[in-house]
Amino acid sequence: MSLTNFPGAGSSPAGAPITKVTMPALAEMKRQGKPISALTAYDYATSRLVDEAGIDLILVGDSLAMVVLGHDNTLSVTVDEMLHHTRAVRRAVRRALVVADMPFGSYHGSVAEGVRHAVRVVKEAGAEAVKIEGPRIDLVHALTDAEIPVIGHLGLTPQSVNRMGGYRVQARTPDSVLRLKDDAHALAESGAGVLVLEGVPREVATAITAELPIPTIGIGAGPDCDGQILVFHDLVNMTFAPPAKFVRRYADASALIRSAVEHYREDVEHHVFPSDEESYHLSAAVRTTLEDRKLRQA
């Protein structure tokens, strides 16, 4: 078996062989100064498109709770819901690294509980790494010992929304900048392979990226991180709310889908859909037989 290509990874739609993105590959990208592209995705169809577009890392984020399930924050999503969506993503993805968020409550009670839930995410859903929020150093050690690659997440950590009193940019004072840097170093030293930096000043993310041996992936952290991640629904305008400052909308899927659905409804209402060409027909022979039988019955 090849060590670089998973069985079944096969080739891209264009026919080129696919080399699977792995945690060591991300470390190598940092060494080579190659930017890492990352996006969230939560279902089969979207994940296929994201993977086929060449994104390096797909995160089944707990933002699932908000952008897919309609909750107000990320706190309510469960391990079972994360498993369900991670499985769908895993079935779609051939090249990107598939990472699953550990949901709120699944690792906050104890290290043992965190490891048990992370094992489920890897074993039952096929995630290749898990992401955890905050400087949970003991848990990162334990997951690393359990052969589960870990992605840390510092700065604006949405699972801390109640403690933070809202979604606020973090690390704006000297003390909090130094604390964040210490936490970043501690996570890298305890075995985290990648660090997501969310909602922090550019200067802070730049310094941490330069100091850390592991790649940083920014969201609302400026352009100097080793990679960038956005929530898929933000990228294509499917979030039904004004975007945060750091979001760039690359397409208006809401407008596209709304217009397609309205057009369909109008066609149904005006008997324009389906047309005769979009209908199945009996063969001429069957039609003749039916006509004959009708005549004989008459």
Q: Name the residues annotated as catalytic.
A: 198
Residues within window 97-126 making contact with ligand KIV, judged by CB under 6 A = 101
Query: At its nearest, how many Å lie between ligand KIV and the CB of residue 68?
Result: 11
230 to 269: interface string for ligand KIV, x by CB under 6 A = -x--------------------------------------
Name the closest residue to ligand KIV (Cβ). Answer: 61
Query: At its nearest, how many Å lie between ligand KIV and the CB of residue 221?
Result: 10
Q: Does 86 bind ligand KIV (CB under 6 A)?
A: no
Total number of residues that touch ligand KIV (CB under 6 A):
10
Contact 85, 60 (CB under 8 A): yes
Q: Does 219 bind ligand KIV (CB under 6 A)?
A: yes
Contact 83, 121 (CB under 8 A): yes
Query: At its nearest, how many Å lie between ligand KIV and the CB of residue 52?
Result: 21
Beta bridge partners of 9: none
Q: How many CA atoms lie within 13 A of 148 on its CB side?
A: 29
Q: Does 37 bind ligand KIV (CB under 6 A)?
A: no
- Name the residue nearer to ligand KIV (CB basis): 5 or 73: 73
Query: At its nearest, how many Å lie between ligand KIV and the CB of residue 140?
Result: 16
Q: Could you tell me which stretch among 7-15, 28-36, 58-66, 267-275 binds ligand KIV (CB under 6 A)?
A: 58-66
Q: Does 26 bind ligand KIV (CB under 6 A)?
A: no
H, E, C per residue of the chain: CCCCCCCCCCECCCCCECCCCCHHHHHHHHHHCCCEEEEECCCHHHHHHHHHCCCCEEEECCCHHHHCCCCCCCCCCCHHHHHHHHHHHHHHCCCCEEEEECCCCCCCCCHHHHHHHHHHHHHHHCCCEEEEECCCHHHHHHHHHCCCCEEEEEECCHHHHHHHCCCCCCCCCHHHHHHHHHHHHHHHHHCCCEEEEECCCHHHHHHHHHHCCCCEEEECCCCCCCEEEECHHHHCCCCCCCCCCCCCCCCCHHHHHHHHHHHHHHHHHCCCCCCCCCCCCCCHHHHHHHHHHHHHHC
Q: Does 196 bind ligand KIV (CB under 6 A)?
A: yes
- Name the residue nearer to ligand KIV (CB basis): 62 or 226: 62
- Name the residue nearer to ligand KIV (CB basis): 169 or 283: 169
Q: Does 198 bind ligand KIV (CB under 6 A)?
A: yes
Among 37, 46, 47, 63, binds ligand KIV (CB under 6 A): 63
Query: At its nearest, how many Å lie between ligand KIV and the CB of residue 231?
Result: 5
Q: Could you tell me which stretch among 55-63, 118-126, 172-180, 268-276 binds ligand KIV (CB under 6 A)?
A: 55-63
Residue with tokens 């400087």: 135
Please give the residue ranges that form the binding site for ligand KIV (CB under 6 A). 40, 61-63, 101, 196, 198, 219, 229, 231
